[in-house]
Amino acid sequence: MKKITNVNLLPRIDDSLWFKLVHASALKFTYLDMVHFFGEPKVYDEPKFTFCGLNKDGVEECREYNRRLEWVLGEFDNKGNLKLDDNGNPIVCTIYDSDSKLSVEDNFIWYVDALVSRGFEIVGEYIIHERQNGKDFVSTKLPKNIVKQDEDEMLKVEMTPEKKKIMKELKKKNDKAKAKKKNDKTKSK
């Protein structure tokens, strides 16, 4: 199966980049599926912490963060280096718990912060690639109050029309992978 892009997990993100990330979207998943798809997360000792660094304008700033768990994804070139966008920024994102007061089993919304708009797209591409390679969701369906409109919708995001078009294409590929898997199971019987 052809990999859409070279997206992989990173053990951590450089502090100078981490501070510049902005909230991009949210991912609706169970914790069990998060670990199944992305592996064990980085665990913070304290759910609330302050981090200081240079903001996008180069001014020293401190921010308070509220998270316990975090995964980092990046898009890589053929030489194994992080890919850069047109402005020279690395294509990376973090995924973390949206409410550290909830137990991980009760948290179904995971925030995605990115340095560039492509940051959220790589999350979807990574999941689709994993699904194309046979990885499937291991948990039961999300609670009805979490999935309100479309039961198949796993990625909920406020998007520009351009991003919506990209996500529709990704969903199409995901649906094809589901159909192929179902067809392969039927043929093997």
The tokens for 61 are 């700033």
**pLDDT tens-digit series, residues 30-86:** 999 999 999 999 888 877 777 787 776 778 888 777 788 999 999 998 898 999 888
- pLDDT bin (cut points 50, 70, 90) of residue 170 is low
Give me the residue spans of the domains in the chain. 7-188
What CA–CA distance (Å, rounded) separates 63 from 180? 46
What CA–CA distance (Å, rounded) separates 30 from 161? 28
**pLDDT tens-digit series, residues 138-148:** 887 777 766 65
Answer with the residue of higher pLDDT: 34 or 167.
34
pTM of this structure: 0.70
Return phi, psi of residue 180, to 5°: -65, -45
What CA–CA distance (Å, rounded) separates 28 from 123? 12
Evaluated on CA atoms 161, 167, 173, 178, the torsion sign reads negative
What is the distance in angstroms between the CA of the first residue and the CA of the last residue of the chain? 22
